[in-house]
Structure 1
Amino acid sequence: MLASGFVRIEGLAAKHGVSGMTVHRDLGVLEQQGWLRKVRGGATSTPTALLESSVRARIGDAADEKARLAKHAVRLVSPGQVIALDYSTSALGVAERLAPLGPLTVVTNFLSVINLLSGEPGLHLIGLGGDYQPSYDAFLRCTPPAWPARCAPTCCSCRPPRWSTGIACTARRRRSRSSAR
């Protein structure tokens, strides 16, 4: 479908030896997951969305670079920090390395990160709401929270939508009350 941009229900049914109704239902599921768009008689692909935004499609892209980024990012993490992770697969690489670094608070809109880190001892998870988008496996269209001073992120991986651009990984040190005076 990516090559032609369109596929017919009858063609899929004949190719796979199933009924047109089965193909129709399966296309409905794939549409809900963000893989395609159903149209009369078939489905159309959205190559950009499939290749650039689907977690499944992006997870293997530039894997070595993402691993290097994640290794570097976790070196900036100290116990007790609040870490904000966006819905990028680079952030997923960072999340895979966080459990041994706790105690930490992890703030994210990425369901894959929440599922990965849930139940890990020493990690407090905060999920950001919004509209769930299956192709991103994330909750989008949310406004950034007003961070209380005790919960301001000290490291932010990659690019949360509408919050920042580029890679923003910093290790801010909070001043103690005595040095702030």
Structure 2
Amino acid sequence: MRSSRSSDAPMLAKQRQARILTEIRRHGGARVTDLTTLLGVSDMTIRRDLEELTASGSVHKVHGGAVLNAAASSEPGFEAKSGLEQPAKSAIADAAARLIRPGSAIAVSAGTTTWALAQHVAGIAGLTIVTNSTAVAEQIGGADPRSDATLILTGGVRTPSAALVGPVADQALGMLHVDQLFLGVHGMDAAAGFTTPNLAEAQTNRALIAMADQVIVCADSTKWGSVGLASFAPLSAADVLITDQDLPADAVALLRDTVGALELVPVDRAEVDDPGAARTS
């Protein structure tokens, strides 16, 4: 069994805040009185949670409750995200590439961590690679010209994060089957699971998961506790989750009980720890 957590166990603060954020996103807002009833905690606890969510920019406090911060549901572009947490993304990509078997069929989702992985796959013999990411496709297509990889791009509507989504992408994925899916995520959370700020991308991610024998989630530790607009899979959907060593201890314990296998990779942050270096995280 992947999870032994009791449904009667008290929620951790992060879990409770994720549930609150889900309610606010579902209804556009929530009252403190309703949240205390829903979660079985005091109004002071709810008010503290709302203060933390407000400080993070997720919600805006109003008299008696909170509403969704419009900026929290916006989707950052690929260029904006690609410069963040580069050492961790590189380490995660290296670990993910070691799981790929020559001659297999894989899918690589949109995302900056999976884009880092794409730099490795052209050197693996005989791959068939399905992707819904224009950035991943460009990376693979511009790699080693001696590569014998077969690249399949789904088509679809392009999002700010360079993902191809919508009915065209979903229909294409529904006709295919792969051995492994390497999946990037916007956020991962105990209560909300894996999330994205884009509703159409959530559905396309579900189609990607459905086509794969093995789901390998590639996400740096800063994604923990982040909740996007749309949940598309529970944490238990990950057969393997590759993240970095900075993941909080409580998250490590929860994920070891939830995902199929958890791999924590070491990260060399020496270059970003240099005060004179440009920060990338």
- Normalised by the length of structure 2, the TM-score is 0.38
Contact 2:105 2:179 in 1 (8 A): yes
How many Å separate the matches in 2 of 1:114 and 1:70?
A: 16
For residue 136 of structure 1, what is the amino acid of its counterpart?
S
Alignment of 1:79 with 2:81, yes or no, is no
Equivalent residue for 2:113, pick from 65, 90, 94: 90
> Gapped runs of 5+ residues in structure 1?
1-45, 171-181
CA contact (8 A) 1:76 1:155 kept: no
What is the RMSD computed on CA atoms of the aligned residues?
2.4
Matched, 1:109 2:132: yes
Deviation at 1:90, TM superposition (A): 0.8
Measured after TM superposition, the shift of residue 53 of structure 1 is 3.1
Distance apart, 1:97 and its partner CA: 0.9
1:146 to 2:138 alignment? no
- Aligned match of 1:127: 153
1:65 maps to 2:88: yes
Per-residue CA deviation, residues 78-100 of structure 1 (Å, 9 max, x unaligned), is 11011101111111011011111
Question: Secondary structure at the residue paired with 2:164?
Answer: strand
Change in CA separation of 1:169 and 1:87 when aligned onto 2, cut-off 3 Å: farther
Residues 11-90 of structure 1: pairs in structure 2 closer than 5 A: 47-48=71-72, 52-90=75-113
Shift of the alpha carbon at 1:154?
1.8
- Once the two structures are TM-superposed, the CA of residue 109 in structure 1 deviates from its matched residue by 0.7
Q: Deviations over 1:82-138 (max 9, x none)?
A: 1101111111011011111122111001001111111642111000121122x1222
1:145 CA displacement: 2.0
Name the amino acid aligned to 1:100: G
- How many residues matched? 119
Whole-angstrom CA distance in 1 between matches of 2:150 and 2:216:
26
Q: Does the Cα contact within 8 Å between 2:134 and 2:162 map onto a contact in 1?
A: yes
- In terms of Rg, which structure is larger? 1
SS of 2:102's partner is coil
| 1:86 alignment partner AA | S
Amino acid corresponding to residue 138 of structure 1 in structure 2? A
Q: Determine what percentage of the aligned residue pairs are the same residue.
A: 24
- Residue 68 of structure 1, CA deviation: 1.6
Residue 47 of structure 1 and its aligned partner are, at CA, apart by: 4.6
Q: 1:155 aligns with which of 148, 173, 180?
A: 180
CA distance in 2, matches of 1:101, 1:169: 22
Q: Distance in 1 between matches of 2:164 and 2:118?
A: 17
Contact in 1 for aligned 2:182/2:216 (Cα 8 Å): no
Instruction: State the distance in 2 between where 1:155 and 1:110 align.
Output: 16
Amino acid in structure 1 at the alignment position of 2:149? L
TM-score by length of 1: 0.57
